[in-house]
């Protein structure tokens, strides 16, 4: 769908054309369709003059061009150019740039809403994300000026009280995490344990489960909490369960950041068979974008069959290469022992900490939880 346009208010039109004539902003900030009849004449006159000269553009040149080349009435153009000149009198560059930003925000909002309505959906979350731009400071400061009060705190993510060694190695869940492993090795067990852990600390969780089913997941949860219904309900009060992701947009409108989004698993996300890899990559890219809105994301992924017996590495994620680039932290778990009572945990990507490699064993506890058992040093 083409990007929407709208008629500018007279004040905004005059301010932007004045700024273009003075060389403060590029002509590309407006289009002819957004301008009044007089504004279009001035806009085209500015472009005509700038084809052979540098800004600022003299107002006499704009007057002559508008009247002689574009045939507008002389008295009308005198009044218009006087108002345009007054619109720029005493106005700071920063104010002009803020008007440009506000105008672009309106265009983006109209375009985004038009696209969504054309699809029959409305993503309140993405529109809210655009609205956050209204508070953006258009000023720019050097790093030195930003450090007047000292260094900022290092990135710190959602802490994992039940997996303290993993939390130390990674700094907690920061941005987008991905857990990879063979089928049946305990990826869902680990993801659900993290969901319970994070929710216990007061962070909301949306759990998109395409692997287990609600009854199965609750049966496992009952094993963890000794089938104590009150304890189960208290522990899951901040967790929202979905068996499909088609409600993602409305869910994000209801569960505001900071919150943890878990997808189990990436390979079950809806994507056409003809372009499956591209479809999954687009999903990963879209989910990565939630970081900018203040969400944390955890993706569960199968690994390619060819990687079952290979050394852990960041390229093991099945059917998608986007995770390799988008993940802030990549974890691979490998079955350990003959009875499946443990998995070896490896960090294959760690953007916010320098440590990667083997962490230790995760030993099954109460069947559907893991406990750490350190077996090596990174």
Whether residue 363 is predicted with pLDDT greater than 90 in this model: the reply is yes
- d(CA 55, CA 24) in angstroms, rounded, equals 9
Lowest mean pLDDT among 88-97, 144-153, 267-276, 339-348: 88-97
Whether residue 242 is predicted with pLDDT greater than 80 in this model: the reply is yes
Which tens digits make up the pLDDT trace of 173-217? 999 999 999 999 999 999 999 999 999 999 999 999 999 999 999
- d(CA 358, CA 350) in angstroms, rounded, equals 12
Which tens digits make up the pLDDT trace of 84-143? 888 765 555 556 555 665 666 666 666 666 666 666 655 555 555 555 554 455 567 899
Whether residue 369 is predicted with pLDDT greater than 90 in this model: the reply is yes
74-87 helix and 10-22 helix, angle to the nearest 10 degrees: 80
- d(CA 45, CA 55) in angstroms, rounded, equals 12
Look at residue 282 in the predicted model and tell me its pLDDT: 86
Look at residue 219 in the predicted model and tell me its pLDDT: 96
Are 340 and 185 in contact by the 8 Å Cβ rule? The answer is: yes
What are the boundaries of each domain within the chain?
A: 10-135, 164-373
- d(CA 15, CA 20) in angstroms, rounded, equals 9
Look at residue 124 in the predicted model and tell me its pLDDT: 57
Listed in sequence order, the residues at least 6 apart from 321 whose beta carbon sits closer than 8 Å to its beta carbon are 277, 281, 315
Q: For residue 321, give the 3-state DSSP assignment.
A: coil
- d(CA 359, CA 362) in angstroms, rounded, equals 9
Domain 164-373 has CATH 3.40.50.300: yes
- d(CA 11, CA 15) in angstroms, rounded, equals 6
- d(CA 292, CA 57) in angstroms, rounded, equals 40
Look at residue 175 in the predicted model and tell me its pLDDT: 95
Are 295 and 239 in contact by the 8 Å Cβ rule? The answer is: no
Which tens digits make up the pLDDT trace of 303-334? 988 888 888 888 888 888 889 899 999 999 99
Whether residue 2 is predicted with pLDDT greater than 50 in this model: the reply is no
Q: Which CATH class is domain 10-135?
A: mainly alpha
Question: Is 164-373 in the same CATH topology as 10-135?
Answer: no
């Amino acid at each position: 769908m083409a990007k929407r346009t709208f008629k500018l208010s007279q004040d905004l039109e005059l301010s932007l054309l004045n700024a273009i004539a003075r060389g403060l902003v590029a002509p590309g900030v407006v289009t002819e369709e957004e301008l009044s009849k007089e504004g279009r004449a001035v806009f085209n006159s500015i472009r005509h003059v700038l084809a052979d000269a540098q800004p600022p553009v003299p107002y006499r040149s704009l007057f002559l061009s508008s009247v002689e080349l574009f045939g507008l009435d002389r008295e009308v153009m005198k009044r218009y150019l006087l108002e345009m000149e007054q619109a720029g009198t005493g106005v700071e560059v920063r104010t002009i740039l803020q008007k440009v930003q506000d105008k672009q925000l309106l265009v983006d909002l109209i375009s985004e809403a038009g696209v969504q309505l054309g699809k029959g959906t409305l993503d309140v979350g993405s529109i809210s994300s655009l609205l956050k731009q209204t508070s953006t400071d258009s000023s720019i400061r050097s790093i030195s000026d930003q450090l007047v009060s000292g260094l900022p705190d290092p990135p710190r993510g959602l802490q994992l009280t039940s997996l303290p060694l993993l939390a130390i190695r990674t700094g907690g869940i920061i941005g987008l995490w991905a857990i990879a492993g063979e089928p049946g090795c305990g990826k869902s067990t680990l993801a659900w344990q993290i969901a319970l852990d994070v929710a216990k600390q007061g962070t909301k969780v949306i759990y998109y489960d395409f692997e287990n089913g609600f009854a199965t997941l609750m049966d496992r949860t009952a094993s963890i909490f000794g089938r104590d219904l009150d304890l189960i309900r208290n522990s899951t009060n901040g967790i929202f369960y979905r068996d499909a992701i088609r409600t993602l947009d409305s869910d994000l409108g209801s569960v505001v950041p900071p919150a943890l989004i878990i997808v189990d698993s990436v390979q079950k996300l809806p994507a056409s068979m003809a372009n499956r890899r591209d479809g999954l990559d687009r999903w990963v890219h879209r989910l990565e974008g939630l970081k900018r809105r203040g969400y944390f994301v955890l993706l569960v992924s199968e690994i390619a069959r060819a990687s079952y017996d290979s050394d852990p590495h960041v390229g093991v994620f099945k059917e998608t290469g986007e995770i390799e680039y988008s993940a802030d932290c990549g974890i691979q778990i490998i079955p350990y022992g003959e009875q499946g009572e443990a998995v070896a945990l490896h960090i294959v990507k760690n953007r916010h900490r320098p440590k990667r490699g083997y962490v230790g064993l995760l030993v099954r506890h109460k069947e559907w939880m893991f406990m750490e058992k350190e077996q090596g040093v990174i």
